[in-house]
Structure 1
């Protein structure tokens, strides 16, 4: 496998489903899992089997259904959790158990009322238990973002020695700045003696709006897996957005990374997840938002109409979007107005557009957006013979 391949670990069906109101039934989970596999995700986190009989059944059914992607089940560092995950994943062609424990002093003292040494032993033990069910074991050091680096390195070295093949370094609270998260990954790369035996993974939350930036900083520093969700769904402010990291990697070729994601499926996949999980996508969301390829400012519209690359770094077709949109508002200019009249079949010269523009501005000031019907009415009243024969 190329050292430049970035594995995409999708947790839409697990972390994404933890968003209030986004609960999925088994049928919905299977439908989304099949589409995520078709999208090209490498690892599909199907759920948390011990959490409920319904989630156990969903993970088991997905394990039976998915043939190409690795199917993953989450567990705590608890033997019963791991046994449930192992049982649910039994039918999978490729299976992974994702187990772990909090490693920051916030978690060790407040959550577990424990010590660093006790947590280190529990970390090794949970990996040992998980290895009874699969050779593909991922360990997560919860709240690694706020964990002391020297202690984190001790934990990572110990769990790799116990058999972990992937080690997840979560910025669970979204606290890290990109340079801090990158430095943490680099520290582990340079201070864990057996680091070559495992893949480091980025699992970043978006509490400060830095999940995507931190994940990219992580792979630049040496991580080779990104854990993410469609539309950035997830606990609190969400997770790293799959579509964002994929297109950053695709656009910035100087990074020399690649993924197996079919970019042209990103917008259809976003809409499917939004509809199925009943969670609208914010209009200004990067890559998949309704306004991602819309232009309403006159300056932007003029530049875009001359050369799309002046204001678009991604071709909408490349990510399965419906195309660029010129939105007519009071901020729009004459070139956008002329373009829209031409699209409607009207032939106007520059003087005509100057006259029509004054009428357009009056309409635009009274409406949020000027529609084609408004333009047709303006044109008909001004010069109906300007409509070209179809």
Structure 2
């Protein structure tokens, strides 16, 4: 791209190596979560939520388990102010939930904010002013000292207003546009604010270091966080917080590395809704922890319901491939993926393992309210035998022999490819039953009977076209006797009969299904089919006749009793 030279680095590295986070393998406990859906998320909506919608969303967040919820910018609009007062006046804030409000470092806005908070049990009051080089030079045209003075003056006014206002308040400060601020200056202004507030362990202060605009790779943000965290005054009485945006698509990585670097708290939104490319997605962060065996301390057992409520209230769509929440995130269409998932699920069931390790599935979808049937393996022309076999087994109880799955897979994929569509389980079942089960033409099975001496003697009645005849055969078992009756009387040669059967309990009133594969002597191909019947022996015979008919049709053999039957006719 010809304009690339106009771009240069807009971020600042710490003045000393800050790489302690690189020695940590993983996050060991959940951070304090703060949802900013009702402020940062709401102001990013095409149509912001009304008062009733905000209340519903607040209740959704409480149900998920958020203990800190930013409810708005009460000095910004009448709706924001009215919503905050409704929460307080109608006692709608649970005792264990702390609300948070945002204010610029401007006197009339600060005073209006504290007035809106009158009578609150617990609130975080969040002060911010922009500190980046670009903002100082281009927007405010102010010196570093002038920017520090704005923050310090606001911090002093916070103390004054808090003393005059009924309620309990915790203070938070953000050097807004932190990622574009010289790191030494960001540290300086945070420490100057802390000197005003003088936090204690009983009354800690939150220092929030936002990636208001993501300007660097995640490791740079982590080093910036670590440097500030290690050099803050009153560190034992300070909660270091993150507020990553997603301009570079690295919001989650920024947050995870920032937590390794010493942060204790994260501000974000459900599914990442926020300005521009969005805020960091708290659900993704929380379930990433969960996938490593760390309790996220949020109630995420029903992601589909959370997603539905989020989309209804925000009128925003969440992508089908969005981590954890998207409709298709656990879905495999690829044949090799489906085969591995199907085998992994079966192995897990057989081995009775306590730890989750199924290929292609980082967590158990059922843990977050997703179902195996319809969510994990879906079928189109890219699918394979393993996935198709899995769908038939999960939905209809059909445990196809491994060798049979390939031919069934090709048959199903051929239909999907021809129709250019995904096939639903009922459509796959219909294809299977139509093409493989109880095939009665051109050689129709009518009945059988047995006698037993040293071996089984079978008489099987068949119909070809409109002619009926009995065929006789001897074998070491009932099915072997019937197979020999066919081989010895019909001019059709096959070998290597493969047989399996099982009880059928799903989707049918029948009780048994039998699968048979026979190999044609003429071309070496194996022809598979099945029989379904309430009687296991009858289902086996129907399977044999179905396989024989597939062989006849596959080879293009023209059959008639006059040409093919060597015994007398009835």
Q: Name the counterpart of 1:318.
A: 367
Deviates more, 1:127-136 or 1:108-117: 127-136
Give 1:66's match in structure 2, choosing from 87, 93, 109.
93
Q: CA deviation at 1:143?
A: 0.6
Q: What's the CA shift for 1:351?
A: 5.8
In structure 2, the CA distance between the partners of 1:17 and 1:156, relative to structure 1 (3 Å rule), is same
- Correspondence 1:40 to 2:65: yes
SS of the equivalent of 1:227 reads strand
| Equivalent residue number for residue 383 of structure 2 | 332
Deviations 1:155-204 (A, max 9, x none): 11111122271011111111132111111111112222323321111001
Shift in alpha-carbon separation, 1:378–1:78, aligned structure 2, 3 A: same
CA distance in 1, matches of 2:283, 2:258: 17
Q: How does 1:200-349 map to 2 (within 5 A)?
A: 200-253=240-293, 259-308=296-345, 309-323=358-372, 324-342=375-393, 343-346=395-398, 348-349=400-401
User: Are residues 297 and 33 of structure 1, via their aligned partners in 2, closer, same or farther at CA, if it must alter by over 3 Å?
Assistant: same
1:107-127 Cα offsets, whole Å, 9 max, x none, are 112122211101111111212
TM-score norm. by structure 1 comes to 0.92
Q: Tell me, yes or no, if the aligned pair for 2:125 and 2:169 is still in contact at 8 Å.
A: no
When residues 97 and 262 of structure 1 are mapped into structure 2, their CA distance, relative to the original with a 3 A threshold, is same
C-alpha distance in 2 between matches for 1:128 and 1:231? 36
Conserved 8 A contact 1:16-1:234: yes
Alignment correspondent of 1:376: 429
Q: Which piece of structure 1 moves more, 227-236 or 343-352?
A: 343-352
| Partner Cα separation in structure 2 for residue 294 and residue 335 of structure 1 | 14
1:249–1:258 contact (8 Å) kept in structure 2: yes
1:177 alignment partner, one of 199, 217, 233: 217
Distance in 1, matches of 2:230 and 2:407, equals 68
Instruction: Answer yes or no: is the 8 Å Cα contact 1:160–1:195 preserved in 2.
Output: no
Report whether the alignment pairs 1:16 with 2:68.
no
Bigger RCO (CA 8 Å, 6+ sep): 1
Change (3 A) 1:302 1:201: same
Shift of 1:282: 0.1
In structure 2, which of residues 115, 137, 152 is the aligned counterpart of residue 109 of structure 1? 137
Runs ≥4 residues deviating over 4 A: 345-352, 384-388
Match of 1:50, SS?
A: coil
Q: Which has the higher helix share?
A: 1
Q: 1:258 to 1:350 in 2, by over 3 A?
A: closer
Q: Match of 2:490?
A: none
Change (3 A) 1:313 1:357: closer
Q: How many residues align?
A: 385
**Structure 2 residue aligned with 1:7:** 32
What SS class does the counterpart of residue 66 from structure 1 fall into? coil
Contact 2:287–2:296 (8 Å) recurs in 1:
no
1:151 matched residue in structure 2: 185
RMSD value, Cα: 2.1
What SS does the corresponding residue of 1:331 show, helix, strand or coil?
coil
Query: Once structures 1 and 2 are overlaid, which stretch shifts more, 96-105 or 61-70?
Result: 61-70
SS for the counterpart of 1:54 is helix
Q: Which has the higher strand share?
A: 2
1:320–1:49 Cα change, 3 Å: same
- Once the two structures are overlaid, the 10-residue window that deviates more, 80-89 or 258-267, is 258-267
Match of 2:543 in 1: none
For residues 344 and 402 of structure 2, the distance between their equivalents in structure 1, rounded to whole angstroms, comes to 20
The aligned counterpart of 1:139 is 173
Unmatched segments (≥5 aa) in structure 1: none
Deviation at 1:348, TM superposition (A): 4.5
SS of the aligned residue for 1:307 comes to helix
Aligned equivalents of 1:29 and 1:44: distance in 2? Answer: 12
